[in-house]
Structure 1
Amino acid sequence: MTTYNLKNTLNALSNADNQQAIKGIMRGIERESLRINHDGSISKQAHPQGVGCALTNGHITTDFSESLLEFITPVSESSTQTLQQLKDLQKFTLEHMGDELLWPISMPCFINHQDDIVLAQFGDSNVGKMKTLYREGLKNRYGSMMQAIAGVHFNISFPQTLWQSLHSLKQSNAKLEDFISDSYLALIRNFKRELWLISYMFGASPALCSSFLQGRKSDLPFKKLGKGTLYLEVGTALRLGNLGYTNSAQSSLRVMYNSLDEYVAGLKKAINTPSDIYGSIDDYTSATPKQLNKNILQIENEFYSPIRPKRNAKNGETPTDALLRAGIEYIEIRALDVNPFSEVGIDLEQIHFLDVFLTYCLLKDSAPMDWQEQTRSTENLDTVVNQGREQGLMLNFNNEQRSLESWGDEIFSQLSDVAQWMDIAYDVDYYSNTIKRMATWIHDPALTYSGRYVEQLKASGLDNGHFALSLAQKYKQSHETASYTEFSKSWLEQQAAESYQAQKAIEQADKQSFTAFLDTYFRVC
């Protein structure tokens, strides 16, 4: 039997029967952005009324706080369409924000105190109150400052034609649904092994406002700029490091990705295991609750991971139960900083790279990943987060030291092969051109997002906050002069109006008390 490593798999997929199998990749984007005042401070105003209800508008909502907007595109086969939809959503929202702006970077603006970050409100329904109480729990567990960090989530699913071709080529005896889930998990393992590359290429948060630390000391080798800017000279993505979306309390959670049952079991254990750390915080059974419950994770979404297997859940269904019901449907990439060089937070070339990189992660061999290997991958990420642009940087490759340049060159050589195959399938040349151009970044860190950001920040002579504010003003002007292309203004207004009707219907349908509602919810979980 043929061993289907990356080269053999690409050769097999290049025959006439399978050449078009990759066509039909579907994508969706979720972009987060803080609303800020014209002076660069965080907005304390409520969610803009004109854009609809945060609970029920599927395209414009909030994340942790009232000021942290989230723009969600529909699923689309066209990357260009997705970016235009994202642009329309942001243009429409800005029109309802007065003189407020959208913060164009991941690390937050100047925030005097965490109480300036107003928790997101979702109305008086039980599900709405649950969402706010969950956020109250996040605040009391980790502090609100961490929750003010913004990112971009990239969702991708591969076409049924590819799954059928791979299922046949690998002579799998598994049901197609199980084969797809196993293949997505193989992708996740490879992604985690080489996640450091995403941080190196697209990390764009090497600087922050000192207010973010709230007086805490840091062991990171920060340099100072202006009145209150701290930055890492060779760092890449503070958002992905110990100052960002990490949770030391979760470090003991051994959530593994070698099978769907193993992954689900790891998460379910975390949401049903009492926490030694958070046990003293009042939960929903108290008169004045400060968190949903006293477990290690309140709900599954609290698990901070740079990549997640996903399936659209039915009403009342938890994410893991949806996975168990019908397998993995798509993958959510959560490791992207907001791109400060794009008015919508991500650009077309990034999407082209991610298409190739994730296809490569899917098609290449992916052995089971034990906890020690997961730990090594996290250590490599931390190394690149803090010093990724340092010349001669060494990483841990199978328990041996290897230079970032050598490992990166090897990855890009294989990405080039994948890109050529995808170009032929799509009858384009942009996949190969993207990989060829970005391959040069491995040996010239000044070309990376973090390299460009630090260079431009220094050249501006501004604090990080004022530099980001200038970008926010520039992008708002661009949105103001642009025309709607994918969504009409009237359609977006209709969505906003319908969202309020939907919220009212949910509130009127409630028959249980909030406590009884949560009793039922956690009993089912």
Structure 2
Amino acid sequence: MSFNNTVDQLSDAQGREALLGMFRGIEREALRIGTDGQLATDPHPNALGSALTHSRITTDYSESLLEFITPVHQSIDALLEDLTQTHAFSVRNLNGQKLWPVSMPCYVGDEKNIPIAQYGSSNTGMMKTLYRKGLTHRYGALMQIISGVHFNFSVSNELWQRLYELSDTKLGLNDFISESYFGLIRNYRRLVWVLPYLFGSSPAICSSFIKDQEFDFEFMKTGKGTLYLPYATSLRMSDLGYTNKEQDTLNISYNSLPEYLTGIRAAIKMPSKKFEKIGVKVDNEYQQLNSNILQIENEFYSPIRAKRVTKRGEKPSDALSRAGVEYIEVRALDVNPFSPVGIDANQVRFLDLFLLHCLLSPSAPSYGEEEGEMTANLKAVVLEGRKPGLELTKAGEPISMSIWLQQLFDALVPLAKLLDGEHEYAYQTALSTWEKTIADPTKTLSGRVLDEIITKGTDHFSWVKTLAEDYHSFLSQYPLSNEVTERYKTDATSSLVAQRELEASSNQPFSAYLDDYFSMSDKA
């Protein structure tokens, strides 16, 4: 059934309610910086609790790289309010440090000074730190302090029931849901270039990020060492960003959940000659978890992931195998420098429309030739997305990017009207806001960034540092009730207690703990 037909079938009151019952969560990463705008290298602030056990405030790769996680929300307003409150509580407890409000790192001197995240002396905590140490040896620390925003998305049980009834599937409901989510993922990968075009906001970087690395990019230079590509949208998603050449050989399939799980599990056991040279244990000290292409599943880089909430000690693939796909995680979003929390409501509403379109549209399996097409389209938009007349490839044929983008926006109009109903215009407003970027690429986030540093002539570092100060001031003064503040304080204290309890109960030698962890993988 076509996308338009499916939307028509859902256009009654119950169908609209089923569509509106979306669940969303956000994970936002941000580097801590000192008053000089340089990377903070001190430990994770104690007032924020334990990065190992806190459900909302943690760290990613580095001790300096904060990650704020919202619970699941159905209301967009509640989602962004929750994220803002977490930011507001955190900045009040950074001892004057601020949050770097863009994806690419601030000025970095010696890469060796980037601190790896520390999670304490429990086996779980030591494994998390060792995994990050392995990433350092494999790809360098600089690549690991790039920030992004992850958007978690799922639809209501009521919508699944309606879609199940409309389908002619012979699958059970649970398998139908997993199959449909993988259909969404395939369509997303076909259209993923749309997101860096609209929301990419890293067309420029600090020259300190390049150091001695060699790249084919013909950078232009401005200000005090700012490098940029005139038509780039997201250098974060380019070869400068988080990529893993070793993974290019994996060819993990998204054509079904079983094929995906087979590919992921094989990758975890696939040896790498390059990583073997690092060694696993050198002079009796661990350097990485293992020397395979992936140390663990989290190392697999993809702009979208199929997810299910894991039980304690459960691997992501085992959770998917146990009960199927529960939600998807969008990982192709730069930090929005024009928002104090890295993302705004207009982006969320567009993402709703975009992901529903991917879900409700037919989705054929994808194979080698199309996989290459997807990769080439994404790379083209990441590096040259605002270039006049840019052409992509669709089903083997060249197509103007702007024409393809307009086709997508036209297709989303009926869905936006349906979600808004008779008295609301939020989705239609979001759609028209982003549609203006098709004719005028300067209205994209990357276009607005380059307008600041090229047209207005503001030094990139100075511009971002001023943003950091403005957002720090805004968040420091953001109203937090006593009740909300006390809840955050209680959560921080409870997380520290939970970490200590975990450390007290970790009586198994670390080497035995790792052996057990990976022997369970072997049985999968």
Range moving further from structure 2, 412-421 or 198-207: 412-421
Any idea what the Cα deviations from partners look like across 1:349-382, whole Å, max 9, x if unmatched? 0000001100000001111011321221111111
1:456 aligns with 2:452: yes
| Structure 1 residue 433: Cα displacement | 1.8
After TM superposition, list the pairs within 5 Å mapping 1:14-33 onto structure 2: 14-33=11-30
More moved, 151-160 vs 435-444: 435-444
Distance in 2 of aligned mates of 1:486 and 1:18: 40
Matches of 2:12 and 2:348, distance apart in 1? 26
Tell me what 1:478 maps to.
474
- CA deviations on 1:212-252 (whole Å, 9 max, x unpaired) are 11122321121101121001111100001110011111111
Kindly report which structure 2 residues correspond to 1:163-312, keeping only aligned pairs within 5 A, or say none: 163-283=160-280, 287-312=284-309
- Asked if 1:117 is matched to 2:114, the reply is yes
Residue 38 (structure 1) aligns with? 35
TM-score (norm 2): 0.97
Partner of 1:511: 507
Aligned mate of 1:13, from 10, 13, 32: 10
CA distance in 1, matches of 2:15, 2:65: 44
Q: Which amino acid aligns with 1:454?
A: L
- Cα distance, 1:486 vs. partner? 11
d(CA) in 1 for partners of 2:388 and 2:242? 27
Using the TM superposition, name which of 207-216 and 9-18 deviates more. 9-18
Counterparts of 2:9 and 2:384, CA distance in 1: 40
1:115-142 C-alpha deviation (Å, 9 max, x unpaired): 1210000000000000000000000000
Judging changes above 3 Å, is the alpha-carbon distance between structure 1 residues 487 and 244 closer, same or farther for their aligned structure 2 residues?
farther
What is the CA–CA distance in structure 1 between the aligned matches of 2:508 and 2:493, rounded to whole Å? 27
Alignment RMSD, CA only?
1.4
TM-score when normalising by structure 1: 0.97
* Corresponding residue to 1:93 among 90, 107, 113: 90
Q: Which residue of 1 aligns with 2:363?
A: 366
Q: d(CA) in 1 for partners of 2:199 and 2:300?
A: 23
**SS state at 2:500 partner:** helix
Instruction: For residue 210 of structure 1, report the CA deviation from its aligned partner.
Output: 0.6
Separation in 2, partners of 1:487, 1:39 = 34
Instruction: State yes or no: 1:334 paired with 2:331.
Output: yes
Other-structure match for 1:314: 311
Match of 2:129 among 105, 127, 132: 132
Change (3 A) 1:486 1:263: farther
Partner of 2:485 in structure 1?
A: 489
Q: How far apart, in 2, do the equivalents of 1:210 and 1:410 lie? A: 38
Choose which of 401, 404, 407 in structure 2 pairs with 1:407. Answer: 404
Structure 1, unpaired ranges of 5+? none
| Distance in 2 of aligned mates of 1:486 and 1:333 | 34
Q: Secondary structure at the match of 2:413?
A: helix
SS at match of 1:216: coil
Which amino acid letter does the alignment assign opposite residue 104 of structure 1?
Answer: P
2:512 is the alignment partner of 1:524? no
Letter in 2 for 1:479: L
Superposition deviation, residue 284 in structure 1: 5.1
- The reply on whether 1:443 has 2:430 as its aligned counterpart is no
Structure-2 change in CA distance of 1:164 and 1:449 (3 Å): same
Q: Name the SS for the 1:150 alignment partner.
A: coil
SS of the residue 2:212 aligns to: coil
Given that 2:335 and 2:343 are in contact with CA atoms closer than 8 Å, whether structure 1 keeps it comes out as: yes
Aligned-partner Cα distance in 2 for 1:115–1:462 = 30
Moved more, 153-162 or 503-512: 503-512
Separation (CA, whole Å) in 2 of partners of 1:502 and 1:42? 29
Query: 2:437 is aligned with what amino acid?
Result: W
State the one-letter code of the partner of 1:272.
K
User: Match for residue 146 of structure 1?
Assistant: 143
Structure 2 match to 1:376: 373
**For 1:149-195, what per-residue CA distance to the aligned partner results, in whole angstroms no more than 9, with x for missing partners?**
00000001100000000000113221111000001000000010011
Structure 2: how far apart are the matches of 1:499 and 1:437? 41
